[in-house]
Amino acid sequence: MATPPLNARSRRITAGDSRAPNRAMLRAVGFSDEDFDKPIVGVASTWSEITPCNAHIDVLARRAKLGVESNGGKAQIFGTITVSDGISMGTEGMKYSLVSREVIADSIEVVSNAQAFDGLVAVGGCDKNMPGCMIAIGRLDIPSVFVYGGTILPGAHQERKLDIVSVFESVGQVCAGKISKEVFHAIEAHACPGAGSCGGMYTANTMSTAIEALGMSLPNSASHPAVGAAKGDDCEAAGRAVLALIERGITPRRIMTPRAFENAITVVMALGGSTNAVLHLIAMAKALEVPLSLDDFDRLSKRVPHLADLKPSGQYVMADLSEIGGTAAVMRMLLDEGLLHGDCLTVTGKTLAENLADFEPIAKGNPIIRRPADPLRASGPLVILKGNLAPEGAVAKVSGLEHPSITGPARIFDSEEDCLAAILAKRIKAGDVVVIRYEGPRGGPGMREMLAPTAALVGEGLGESVGLITDGRFSGGTHGLVVGHVCPEAQVGGPLAALREGDIITIDADRQELSVKLPDEEIAQRLAAWTPPPMRYRGVLRKYARQVVSASEGAVTDY
C-alpha cells in the first residue's frame, strides 16, 4: 500500500491542471513551483495590539513559520481575534469574552479547512485564545501543535511584586481607606511591565499547563515567559514538530484521549488552577467527542493534592516557577508519584513519560511546590458543589481558605454592576451571601467573570467573611469564598431565579453543598410565577444566547 504524500490534504488546492488558478493566487503570496510539493502548515496567530497577552505574538508566529520552512514545509500565517478580559472586566465588553472563544475556534476551523492545510501551529496568549485554538484543533483533527505566548513578568513597587489582580484588589483597598491615592496610582502604573499573559495561576497559565499536560504543547513550554529566547525557541521547535507529526500521521485525536484529559485535570488541581479550566476542558473534550463531565473533576479533585503556592491565593507567579524548573519539572514529580498517565502520546511523537525523562523532578524544599506528602491541601482546590440551588452542579475554588463554608442571608443582584456598586458603597456586611444572577451563558449573555466584585471584597477585607455565588464565571485571579457556574442558570429558570432578599443560603465546600433554606414546593411556586428577562442584545450576543448550552456542558455553541 502506497504511503500518502505529506501534502495529501493541500493537494486538493495545488495539484493538477485544474488547480492552475489556485496556484496563481498562491504565487502572489510567495509560493514557488517547489512549494506546491511541500506540506502546507497554517500558523494561526492571535496577534493584537489590544492586550499585552498578545502584543508580541506576531514575532512568535514568524518564528513558527521559520521552524516549518527551514525543515521542508511551507507555512502560511493567518489571523484570528482576541479580546482582553483584563481590559473589558467589569464592563459590558466582558460579555464578549467567552463568546470570543467560539469565534476563535470557528475562524481557525474555517481557514484551515478552506485552505486545506496539512498541519497547524496555533499561537495564543489571552485566556480564551487557548481553548478556542484547542476546540478548533479538536474539530480539524489534522497534525497540530499549540504554543503558548507566555506569561508576563511580575511588576514591582517598593519591593512588592505586582500583577493585574493587585490592581483590581487595590480598588477595594483605596475605597476602604487602606492605601493612599498615591500608592493606588503607583500600583496601577507598575503592575504590567510588558508583554505576556497575567502572571499568576490565573486562566491563561492554567490553560497553558493543562494543554502541555494533555500532550498538545512541547515539554516545559507552558512556563516559559513571554519575553526571552526560550519562547521564540518554543515556536520554532513547534514548526519542526508539526512536520514530524504530519510525516507520522499523528493527529490530535490520538493524543487527546480520556487519559490525557485526566492528566490535564491532575496538573490543574496540583497547581491550583482557575475554575475556568472546568468550563474549557469540557468544551475541548466535546470537540473531540471525548466524554468529560463535572463528575470527572470531582473524582480527580479527591485524588490529587494542591501543591503550589501560586497566586491568586499564594505568593508566587509563573515566572518564579519557570526559574526552578517549570511545568515539566512539576509533571515529572507528579509522574514519579503515580499521579499521571505516562503512556499518553504527545506532540513530540513520544509518550509523556519519555518526554519527562529528560527533566529532573522539581527540587525538594523549594518554596513554591510542595511534595504530595506535605500538601497545601490534601485534595484539589476545585470543588464541585450541588444542592437545591445547583442541581446540575457549580464550581468553587477553595485554595487559601481557612473556613470554606458560610450560611447567611442572600443579597440579590441581577447584574455585576449593581453588586459592585453595593460593595463600594459598603452595603455588604460580613456574614452576607451575595448572589449575582442573570450572568450565565444565556442570561449575560456571555457568562462574564466577576473579578471586580470579588477583588473589591478582598480589598475591603471581606474575602472570607462574605460568600458570593453566581451563574457567571470567575477570573483565574479570583479568590475568596466564591461559587460560580451555578447550573441551571437563572435565565433558563434555574433555582437562582427564585431567590429573594434575605433567603438563607449555605455554601459548604467540605460537604460540597450549595443550598437555600426553602422547601422544594416554595421554590417551584416562585418559579411558576417567574418570567425570564427579555433579551436586550442583537448581533453576536443574540446568536450566542440562542445556541449556547449550559456551563456544565462547556458552554459550547455546536453541541
Helix axes 540-547, 97-114, angle to 10 degrees: 90
Integer Cα distance of 288 and 290 in angstroms: 5
Closest CA to 259 of 223, 229, 292, 287: 292
Strand partners, 469: 435, 483
3 state DSSP class of 485: strand
User: Do 104 and 136 touch, CB atoms closer than 8 A?
Assistant: yes
Which residues in 437-542 belong to E strands, given as ranges? Answer: 467-470, 482-487, 504-508, 513-516
Q: Looking at residue 377, what DSSP letter applies?
A: B
What are the φ/ψ torsions at residue 117 (nearest 5 degrees)?
-65, 145
Q: What are the Cα distances from residue 198, in Å, to 27, 141, 478?
A: 40, 30, 12
Catalytic residue among 475, 515, 550, 552: 475
Q: Give, rounded to a whole angstrom, the gap between the first and last alpha carbons of the chain.
A: 37
Give CA–CA dist 9/29, Å, rounded: 20
- Report the relative pairing of strands 433-436 and 405-413 from DSSP bridges: parallel
Could you give the CA distance from residue 223 to residue 152 in angstroms, rounded to a whole number?
Answer: 10
The yes-or-no answer on residue 552 being catalytic is: no
Q: What is the DSSP letter of 362?
A: P
Length of the chain: 559
Phi, psi of 224 (to 5 degrees): -70, 130
The DSSP code for 151 is B
Q: Looking at this protein, which amino acid is placed at residue 501?
A: E
Site of grid cell 517549570:
326
Nearest to 301 by CA among 386, 390, 381, 209: 381
Catalytic residues: 475
